[in-house]
Amino acid sequence: MKENMSSLVQKYNIPGPRYTSYPTVPYWEDKSFTPKKWEKSFQKAFIESNASEGISLYIHLPFCESLCTFCGCNKRITKRHEVETPYMESVLKEWRMYCDKLPEKPLIKEIHLGGGTPTFFSPENLQYLINSIFETANRAENHEFSFEGHPNNTTREHLQALYDVGFRRVSYGVQDYTMKVQIAIHRIQPFENVKRATEEAREVGYTSVSHDIIFGLPFQTKEAVEETILKTKALMPDRIAFYSYAHVPWIKGNGQRGFKEEDLPSGEQKREQYEMGKRMFEEIGYTEIGMDHFALKTDSLHKSMRENNLHRNFMGYTASKTQLMIGLGVSAISDSWYGFAQNEKTIEAYKARVEEGEIPVFKGHILNEEDLIIRRHILNLMCQLNTNWKTESLFFSGLPHSLNQLEEMESDGLVVKHNDAIEITEKGRAFVRNVCMAFDLRLQRKKPETQLFSMTI
């Protein structure tokens, strides 16, 4: 079995998207996109869904006091906290521009604060930001508000301030507890800090605490992953995101330096780290959710999977969906289901556009009919590990080509094909991204000349 998995990893460990969207960002058609098209797209989605399910907000807070060298996110390194207020005012001005273009008051079901380091901001400023958002919006009855917290600087005051405005879920970036790995990724973070932050969240009243753990980091061994999971077991977070390190040093400004390519585990070693981690998580009571996620049976993510309500977007897996997600802040991505839009990528360009009274999107994509069908199939595969074309609305002309692409995976036992459906086997869970790539016609039609994506394993 081990030899078989080893050969499969060698065969399928190729660059591929993580499929938080379809089409993936490199295949957005920038030439056909205009801010006016985006405005029509989000207005249509809002009219169709606001009253019935509400909308989601993603707010990007980009500042960090130090650079983590594993991180591929858009961030600005600074210790000057006077940047907080001007940036927040730009975000709020952007939000008001959206509200001015909507026919009624938004009903907000989800908010996620990402970064950067959201807890770079003071508790008072975070509370001010959220309270100001709700001057022009209402809270949905079953809302789910979450934020990313850095264990080293998330204080009880941060937790209380956000709890008081409706937040009940926090995600802590743990990554790895081994000192050699922490030094390589420039993220020195003792277990005691994670323990304190986790316990304080529960004492304040948070109902879901998540830990992010990464495998495949520089100098990381199976023993290091095992040590991290054993320490995680002592805290039993409600959710665990167990990610493969995405090595994308060609992306400008991602900070992935301080180690060499040969310092990284091989694809086969990464897969061994994951399989060991998965086994350990399941032994202590976690269930695997979609790709790279685990949850206790008491967590809403597990309940959503059981009830077939699991959703995936640019924030990752979520326990509920909204048709419209508005991204606020520098580099934030919005999603109307019919289209995507990304904000300016530098703080200076973002603030300048906002000050000019413009919604600060600089690129995007409006989905055509084929895109919309393929998007549904990829979402089904990522969330439910199966998809079907039993109705005409799920058939597209390129489907026979996609199914042909899956023949070798079927021979390898990764998928099972039926007359009008496919399902990913337990053995195939490790290769979900590869299965989705067979449906990705934009990728099939225009293979990239240079590497755009991290490796699938």
Binding-site positions for [4Fe-4S] cluster read 64, 68, 71
Q: How many Cβ atoms from other residues are within 10 Å of residue 193's Cβ?
A: 17
Contacts of the segment 24-32: beta carbons below 8 A, 24+ positions apart: 24/440, 24/442, 24/443, 24/453, 25/333, 25/340, 25/342, 26/448, 26/452, 27/365, 27/442, 27/443, 27/446, 28/340, 28/363, 28/364, 28/365, 29/365, 29/366, 30/363, 30/364, 30/365, 32/366
Number of H helices, E strands in the chain: 16, 19
Give the angle 320-326-328 at the CA atoms, nearest 5°. Answer: 125
DSSP code at position 121: S
How far is 261 from 264, CA to CA, in rounded Å? 6
Residues of the binding site for S-adenosyl-L-methionine: 58, 70-72, 115-117, 148, 175, 187, 212, 246, 333
Distance CA 27, CA 446 (A): 9
Alpha helices in 178-321 (DSSP H): 179-184, 191-204, 222-233, 267-283, 300-306
Residues belonging to the chain: 457
Question: Do 63 and 73 form a contact (C-beta atoms < 8 A)?
Answer: no
Closest CA relative to residue 396, chosen from 425, 423, 367: 367
**Strands of 245-374, DSSP E:** 287-289, 293-295, 311-313, 316-318, 325-328, 333-335, 339-343, 361-366
At a CB cut-off of 8 Å and minimum separation 6, what does 223 contact? none
Q: Residues annotated in the binding site, as ranges?
A: 58, 64, 68, 70-72, 115-117, 148, 175, 187, 212, 246, 333
